[in-house]
Amino acid sequence: MEIIERKGYLLAQKEKGRTVFGVFPAQYPKEILWAMNAVPAEIWDPPVEVAGANAHLQSYICSVVRMGMELILQGKCYFLDGFLFPHTCDSIQNMASVIYDYMGAKSPCYFFYHPKAPYSQGAPEYYMAQLRNLADLLEKQLGPMDHRALKEAIEASNHISGLLHQLYEKRATAQIPGGNREFYRVVRQVEYLLPEDLIPALEKYLHKNQGKDPQNKIPVILSGVLPNPPQLLDLLDELGVRIAHDDLLNGSRRLLGPPIDPSTDPFKAMRDQYFQMPPCSTRSSPIEQRSDFLLQLIQKTGAKGVIFNIVKFCEPEWFDVPNLQTELKKHNIPSLVLDTEINQGLSGQMTTRVEAFVEMIS
């Protein structure tokens, strides 16, 4: 399946006169950026060798943050018109202040503070105020936002969400023959393509993949932040394991709920969708909600186990994993915890642990 290459795509959008924003993980109202003719380019796991970032960050900061900062330090974000830092976790918050307050970022920086659970009565209004505030600030750089464009962006977002749901459903029922690596290469295009290019790409993949996966692969759930290192996906492919669904921060935890009509008030539609998203460690969701979510995925897919692929030093995830494992044990669901570094491959020991786990569940 042909993938649209990220940097070439973003540079081509610049040539078309669009602005491009570097966006750090994880959840943000991309529809507002789309409505202002801006392209959000998410920064999760850029392929850079970390050197200079180590001097600015504590040794216990995760590699997502380390690599994002390195990308900026190496001047590879020269074509970006600004940065958006959602308040996902303390590490991103820390990086945002280092970049904005101490390094003197040359491009405008925006911050987005979404509410954390447990949600109080005021949380929906607070969230809507944050949406409006972000739109107001962006308007100062990008010009007035056309509210019709925002409604269209929300409709496009609903359409994309519907396609992703269909892809995940097909994956859950073994109706997508490709491997794990290919699936994530395709769906991760959501991190940088505009709807006009993303929708045809997802539709093509969906329609190309008709029919049953001929192989009798072992279904598992992959939980964690993102499907990296890619060698893990390759190993699972080699071992005949299908990631039947995921509970990934940059995967299904960002899937929107049922479409909400944006025609009355697009900000309210975005607000209501936020509060329907699946539970997540970075939004402080209670463990019961997270374990219920995992158990639902297991029931739906017939998964034989859960692989927690946790980024080293990812505080929000590491707080939840022991409790989630305890809950899974109560239901006799086997699980494996991997402590991985972004783009660092799999050690021999880790490979052996994955092989042993797969042997056990099969």
Between 69 and 361, name the residue whose CB sits nearer to ligand SF4. 69
Q: Is 314 in the site for ligand SF4 (CB under 6 A)?
A: yes
Stretch that binds ligand SF4, among 140-148, 160-168, 188-196, 311-319 (CB under 6 A): 311-319
Between 96 and 163, name the residue whose CB sits nearer to ligand SF4. 96
Binding mask 52-91 for ligand SF4 (x = CB under 6 A): ----------x-xx----------------------xx-x
Please report how close the Cβ of residue 25 comes to ligand SF4 at its closest, in angstroms.
Answer: 5
Q: Which of 316, 335, 340, 361 binds ligand SF4 (CB under 6 A)?
A: 316
206-235 residues in contact with ligand SF4 (CB under 6 A) are 225
Would you call 27 helix, strand, or coil by DSSP?
A: coil
- What is the C-alpha to C-alpha distance for residues 70 and 81, in angstroms, rounded to an integer? 18
Between 209 and 250, name the residue whose CB sits nearer to ligand SF4. 250
Length of the chain: 362
Residues 6+ apart with CB under 8 A from 19: 36, 37, 38, 39, 81, 82, 141, 142
- What is the C-alpha to C-alpha distance for residues 21 and 44, in angstroms, rounded to an integer? 14
Please report how close the Cβ of residue 317 comes to ligand SF4 at its closest, in angstroms.
Answer: 6
Residue given tokens 């899937």 in the structure block: 255
Between 18 and 312, name the residue whose CB sits nearer to ligand SF4. 312
Strand 19-23 with 218-224, pairing: unpaired
Q: Which of 25, 82, 115, 278 binds ligand SF4 (CB under 6 A)?
A: 25
Between 165 and 312, name the residue whose CB sits nearer to ligand SF4. 312
Binding mask 267-306 for ligand SF4 (x = CB under 6 A): ---------------x------------------------
Please report how close the Cβ of residue 279 comes to ligand SF4 at its closest, in angstroms.
Answer: 14
Between 225 and 361, name the residue whose CB sits nearer to ligand SF4. 225
Question: Which residue pairs from 121-129 have beta carbons closer than 8 angstroms and sit at least 24 positions apart in sequence?
Answer: 123/275, 124/271, 124/272, 124/275, 127/271, 127/274, 127/275, 128/267, 128/268, 128/271
Query: Is there a contact between 12 and 35 (Cβ–Cβ < 8 Å)?
Result: no
238-267 residues in contact with ligand SF4 (CB under 6 A) are none
- What is the C-alpha to C-alpha distance for residues 73 and 103, in angstroms, rounded to an integer? 10
- b/e burial code for range 102-119 (CB count within 10 A of at least 16 → b): eeebebbebbbebbeeee
Per the structure block, which two tokens stand in for 184? 């994530």
Binding mask 95-114 for ligand SF4 (x = CB under 6 A): --------------------
How far is CA 20 from each of CA 38, 122, 145, 217, 234, rounded to the nearest angstrom? Answer: 6, 33, 16, 40, 32
Q: What burial class does residue 137 get, using C-beta atoms within 10 Å of its C-beta: 0-12 exposed, 13-18 middle, 19+ buried?
A: middle
- Give the count of residues interacting with ligand SF4 (CB under 6 A): 15
Binding site for ligand SF4 (CB under 6 A): 25, 62, 64-65, 88-89, 91-92, 225, 282, 311, 314-317
